[in-house]
Amino acid sequence: MWQWLKRLYHRLGSPKWFYEITAKWIPWLAIISVVGCVTGLVLGLLYAPADYLQGNSFRIIYIHVPAAILAQSAFMMMAIAGAVYLIWKMKMAAWVAKVIAPIGAGFCLIALFTGAIWGKPTWGTWWVWDARLTSMLLLLFLYFGVMALQQAMDSEESGFKAAAILALVGLVNIPIIKYSVEWWNTLHQPATLKLTEKPSMHPDMLIPLLIMIVTTYVFFALLVILRTRNEILWHERKRSWVKDILEP
């Protein structure tokens, strides 16, 4: 197992290997994304019953929750990729960290926007400075900070290093987001989905949500692969294997 992981790790470090293997994955990831999204949304928008309290506005959950979960997971992955780059100087890790930043920021933006829109009819306000909303806004600014650092430095390498350090420091915000609704009193309700307990949601509403969450992860993988392949093409443009792609 350990040997296999080690071999995979070394292979992942090779841009050429990554570029070639992912070419086969892209169509499958795209198909799963589309099928999952259609299934999840049809079930969520058409077949899930309305909530007893919120009525149909609760259907925003099918984008809000997956986007919010992914924005946090993506940040963690970005920080891990950054750490791998700092420790082993693996270029691929730096490129992956670079491409995750704008994707994660996009999901974070979706979570904040849909949360605000959802808040208006349910809470009676678009925004309130409670711990959950504020820490989520901080996550967006951390993403922006990472993106800025990646481009701000004179050499690309020092930009990646600074961005990786900010991502690692920003990691502290992730448990704060998660536990904000338990540590402090907030307008935002506690989590519906917990790893340790049964979800407090009717199965007819829950199944579409779980489908959307899994689909969002698959879609995220697709986006990361697409963007990383572009980074590879750009950085390896002078290599002979890329020249062979350019001139078949």
Partner 1 sequence: MTPKRKKRLILILFLVAGVGTAVGLLMYSLSQNINLFMTPTQIANGEVPYGRTIRAGGLVVVGSLQRSQDSLVSEFKVTDGNAEVTITYDGILPDLFREGQGIVAMGKLNRDNVFVASEVLAKHDENYMPPEVKDALEKAHLDGKEALESARY
Partner 2 sequence: MEFNSFAEFIAMGGHGLYVWLSYGLTAVVIAWNVAQPVMRRRRLLKEQAQRLRREKKHDAKA
Of the two residues 112 and 242, which places its CB atom closer to partner 1 in the complex? 112
| 124 interacts with, out of partner 1, partner 2, none, CB within 5 to 8 A per kind | partner 1
- What minimum distance in Å lies between the beta carbon of 224 and partner 2? 10
Q: List residues binding partner 2 (CB under 8 A).
A: 45-50, 55-57, 59-60, 63-64, 67, 103, 106-107, 109-110, 113-114, 117-118, 120-121, 219, 223, 226-227, 229-230, 233-234, 237, 242-243, 245-247
Q: List residues binding partner 1 (CB under 8 A).
A: 49-54, 58, 61, 83, 86-88, 121-125, 128-131, 165, 168-169, 171-172, 176, 183-187, 189-192, 200-202, 204-205
- What minimum distance in Å lies between the beta carbon of 12 and partner 2? 19
Give the rounded distance of the alpha carbon of 8 from its chain centre: 22
- What minimum distance in Å lies between the beta carbon of 202 and partner 2? 13
Q: What is the C-alpha to C-alpha distance for residues 150 and 160, in angstroms, rounded to an integer? A: 5
Of the two residues 147 and 168, which places its CB atom closer to partner 2 in the complex? 147
Give backbone dihedrals phi and psi of 52, rounded to 5 degrees, phi first. Answer: -65, -30
Per the CB < 8 A criterion, the answer to whether 159 and 91 are in contact is: no
Q: What is the C-alpha to C-alpha distance for residues 48 and 120, in angstroms, rounded to an integer? A: 22
CA-to-CA dists, residue 159 to 74, 147, 222, angstroms: 19, 9, 25
Q: What is the C-alpha to C-alpha distance for residues 244 and 246, in angstroms, rounded to an integer? A: 5
Q: What is the DSSP letter of 47?
A: I
Q: What is the C-alpha to C-alpha distance for residues 131 and 127, in angstroms, rounded to an integer? A: 12
Of the two residues 35 and 42, which places its CB atom closer to partner 1 in the complex? 42
- What minimum distance in Å lies between the beta carbon of 168 and partner 1? 5
